[in-house]
Chains A and B, each alone.
Chain A
Amino acid sequence: MFSFTVPLGKLVRAVSRLRGGGSALPGLVVEKIDPGFMQRTLSSLPHGVAVVSGTNGKTTTTKMVVELLESQGLKVFTNRTGSNFTRGVAAALLGEVDWRGKLDADVAVLELDEAHAVHFVNKVPPRYCLLLNVLRDQLDRFGEIDATAMLLQRIAERTTGTVVLNREDPRVARIAGAVGGPEVLYFGLDESLRSTFPNDDDMRTADPGTSPRGDVPASPAADVVLRRVGTDDADFEFDGTRVSTHMKLRGVYNIFNAAAALVLARSITGASGRPGDAAKLVKALSEVAPAFGRGESLTVDGQPLELVLVKNPSGFRLGLKSFPAKGYASMIAINDNYADGRDMSWLWDVEFESLREDGVEVLTGVRAYDMALRLQYDEVRFGSVDTDIPAALAEFIRGSAGKPKRVFCTYTAMLAIRRELSKITTVEVVS
């Protein structure tokens, strides 16, 4: 039977794009007129659906999984536009299906916001899920981190095939206890690296890496272990072999998520009857470029300018550790819009001592003065403070000519900075 869902949805999508609108409206229309559309379309995929969720690093990890699977010759459907809500998935599907509603893909890899993932998995039980972490992110939206962990557990419970968990995050690792049928796989860290990855329980304890409470399973074997991180390379261990590879990605947390992506990609290709070619997987991994604003590097006045997205204390701490200040001019841009989280408390859970030696050139964003106050208490020097982002960015570029630059920014501050930078340099357009 011919269905009008797809033609109508595509029409709405085309019109809404012409109007420069977002991706949610066509998804909403399709949801209303044909609630079964998404489930029907996705369940036709031979290797099913993989959901990637967690508080930090979803976008980059999803990108990695997609590129790893593509390196193995699989056709992958993904929600690339960063619309990590159910409606965004429906909208992305509309763009990819043919006029009869058929999706030409082997597998779907979807990045889903924790809260929305629960709605999604209730409609479409995934075959795979990859749960990254539970950090203090956007707490004013979800309340408490234990509540966020419950959302992730719900995703795991609805998963039919394989659940991939972060062995080093106690709130994620303990989800294993709630998983009945599906296989559980872990990605893990070498012991020498654990202290670089504080989880939220460790933030104020002297001995990171050990949980103060005993309900975490005794460190299970991990399918892929990150053994070492260098400045532009890393060692991963899987199948009993340690592999060293160059990495385009920067930032230790991105590289740890590469181990996560490897586990999921190996699991999917393994089930496809074509076990992944390890050499090809590692090569693909080494070529993954950072996603939008996740440590991407632009060129301004012949010098690199790095954008480091920071949205919670652990992310900011890791950002400062991953991107050493030495030799760089730094700017920090802090907004408190809804998408950033309105609560500024998180800035007080980050230590800024590592910026003491080189100082910070410019502070900006709606909450530039909260940042100034924070740095005052950590005795870090800073130059100008200006809540106006375009003016502050111009000042930063003028004042640090001839030096590589780095901007730590919250989400909406990053959008504003990219908008300004696109006027003077080439910035990847994200549709």
Chain B
Amino acid sequence: MIPADDAAVHASKGTIRVLQLYPRDMNIYGDWGNALVLRQRLLWHGYTPELLEYNVGDDFPEDVDLIVGGGGQDSGQVVIQEDLQARGEQLREMAEDGTPMLVICGLYQLFGKFFKTKAGPVIPGIGILDVETVGTDERLIGNVTLTSPEFGEIMGYENHSGQTALGPGVEPLGTVSKGAGNNSKDNHEGARHRNVVASYLHGSLLPKNPAIADFLIRTAVERKYGTFVPGTPDDGFARLAREHAARRPR
């Protein structure tokens, strides 16, 4: 039922360095699940994962192949904003260069141009994504289903009061059929640019959406080793969890 730890038995097909951005301050609603899924699926595909962390004030690790970042409270966003600005250019270069990245909720907002908080102050973003976010009194909460041209049906759970509008420089991750997504006006959810996937979805996102996890992994491996030779992870329970999640109310 559970794939054996292939990497321990067979020779590894290569090492992929996965960096968690600000796990100390930006990690809420199961964001760890995304890092865990990347680690395990790399193993199941026959690669060796190296899980790294970057927190405020740390030295930025070298040779990062994949970046994952989570959501946070408003207070967490305030704590990281200066440090994130200092890392902005480096992260922008990596994104433009094609490094696969997944940013959820709070870091999605800060990967954009700015987040104008409800209280008034504007937290500048690092502008990797052509999106703008404005804090509101309305909290968008509940189960979400969307359809993406790349990944098919995507499922998760949203909980945010910042509303995000997409500019012409990004594509939406998908079109919402249940829930709100980026904002309460259009039916877009998330954003796509180069190999960056940005989304409001928790749940966690990657466990029930292995297609996105495998896109990030494949991209990282191809960039580093030229070709990706996938393994055969068992996604039976992911399929069943999706079927049951799809039937739940908003």
Cβ-defined contact, B27 with A345, below 8 A: no
Cβ-defined contact, A370 with B245, below 8 A: yes
B33 interface neighbour in A201, A345, A367, Cβ under 8 Å: A345
Q: Considering residues A205, A349, A373, which has the most beta carbons from chain B within 10 angstroms of its beta carbon?
A: A373
Cβ-defined contact, B27 with A203, below 8 A: yes
| Stretch of B6-14, B72-80, B87-95 lying at the A interface | B72-80
- Residues 321-353 of A at the B interface (beta carbon under 8 Å): 336, 342-349
Cβ-defined contact, A204 with B23, below 8 A: yes
Distance (whole angstroms) from the CB of B35 to the closest CB of chain A: 9
- Residues 48-79 of B at the A interface (beta carbon under 8 Å): 73-75, 79
Contact partners of A372 in chain B: CB under 8 A: 237, 240-241
A377 interface neighbour in B1, B25, B40, B203, Cβ under 8 Å: B40
Distance (whole angstroms) from the CB of B179 to the closest CB of chain A: 11
Q: Is A425 an interface residue (CB 8 A)?
A: no
Contact partners of A376 in chain B: CB under 8 A: 1-2, 234, 237
Cβ-defined contact, A348 with B30, below 8 A: yes
| Distance, CA A145 to CA B27, complexed state (A) | 13
| Distance, CA A313 to CA B5, complexed state (A) | 27
Cβ-defined contact, B159 with A373, below 8 A: no
A343 with B25: in contact, given A146-B74, A146-B75, A377-B207 (CB under 8 Å)? no
A145 interface neighbour in B33, B73, B204, B241, Cβ under 8 Å: B73
| Stretch of A36-44, A136-144, A255-263, A403-411 lying at the B interface | A136-144
Contact partners of B244 in chain A: CB under 8 A: 366-370, 387
Contact partners of A379 in chain B: CB under 8 A: 2, 5
- Residues 1-54 of B at the A interface (beta carbon under 8 Å): 1-2, 5, 23-25, 27-33, 36-37, 40
Cβ-defined contact, B30 with A336, below 8 A: no
Distance (whole angstroms) from the CB of B248 to the closest CB of chain A: 6
Cβ-defined contact, A204 with B237, below 8 A: no
Minimum CB distance partner of A345 in chain B: B30
Contact with A along B156-167 (1 / 0, CB 8 A): 010101000000
B29 interface neighbour in A343, A373, A381, Cβ under 8 Å: A343
A136 with B28: in contact, given A342-B248, A366-B248 (CB under 8 Å)? yes
Distance (whole angstroms) from the CB of A289 to the closest CB of chain B: 34
Contact partners of B234 in chain A: CB under 8 A: 376
A349 with B157: in contact, given A342-B248, A367-B244 (CB under 8 Å)? no
| Distance, CA A204 to CA B244, complexed state (A) | 29
Q: Is A374 an interface residue (CB 8 A)?
A: yes
- Residues 246-303 of A at the B interface (beta carbon under 8 Å): none
Distance (whole angstroms) from the CB of B36 to the closest CB of chain A: 6
Cβ-defined contact, A370 with B241, below 8 A: yes
Minimum CB distance partner of B43 in chain A: A379
Contact with B along A373-389 (1 / 0, CB 8 A): 11011110100010100
Cβ-defined contact, B157 with A343, below 8 A: yes
Distance (whole angstroms) from the CB of B22 to the closest CB of chain A: 10
Contact partners of A373 in chain B: CB under 8 A: 207-208, 237-238, 241
Distance (whole angstroms) from the CB of B2 to the closest CB of chain A: 6
Distance (whole angstroms) from the CB of B100 to the closest CB of chain A: 20
Cβ-defined contact, B29 with A345, below 8 A: yes
- Residues 191-234 of B at the A interface (beta carbon under 8 Å): 202-204, 207-208, 234
Distance (whole angstroms) from the CB of A202 to the closest CB of chain B: 9
| Distance, CA A411 to CA B180, complexed state (A) | 27
| Distance, CA A343 to CA B155, complexed state (A) | 12
A212 interface neighbour in B25, B141, B240, Cβ under 8 Å: B25
A205 interface neighbour in B24, B33, B37, B243, Cβ under 8 Å: B24
Cβ-defined contact, A204 with B24, below 8 A: yes
Cβ-defined contact, A345 with B2, below 8 A: no
Minimum CB distance partner of B201 in chain A: A345
Q: Is A213 an interface residue (CB 8 A)?
A: yes
Contact partners of A347 in chain B: CB under 8 A: 30, 33
Distance (whole angstroms) from the CB of B184 to the closest CB of chain A: 16
A336 interface neighbour in B1, B79, B248, Cβ under 8 Å: B248
Contact partners of B241 in chain A: CB under 8 A: 367, 369-370, 372-373
Q: Is B109 an interface residue (CB 8 A)?
A: no
Contact partners of A201 in chain B: CB under 8 A: 24
Cβ-defined contact, A348 with B207, below 8 A: yes
Distance (whole angstroms) from the CB of A138 to the closest CB of chain B: 11
Distance (whole angstroms) from the CB of A385 to the closest CB of chain B: 8
Cβ-defined contact, A349 with B2, below 8 A: no
Contact partners of B98 in chain A: CB under 8 A: none
Cβ-defined contact, A343 with B237, below 8 A: no
B30 interface neighbour in A346, A366, A385, Cβ under 8 Å: A346
| Distance, CA A385 to CA B237, complexed state (A) | 10
- Residues 218-269 of A at the B interface (beta carbon under 8 Å): none
Minimum CB distance partner of A378 in chain B: B36
Q: Considering residues B32, B36, B40, which has the most beta carbons from chain A within 10 angstroms of its beta carbon?
A: B32
Q: Which 4 A-B pairs have the closest CB atoms?
A: A348-B33, A345-B30, A348-B30, A345-B29
Q: List 23 A-B contacts (CB under 8 A).
A: A136-B28, A136-B29, A146-B73, A213-B79, A343-B29, A345-B33, A345-B202, A346-B30, A347-B33, A348-B32, A348-B36, A367-B241, A367-B245, A369-B244, A370-B208, A372-B241, A373-B207, A373-B238, A374-B207, A376-B237, A377-B207, A379-B5, A381-B1
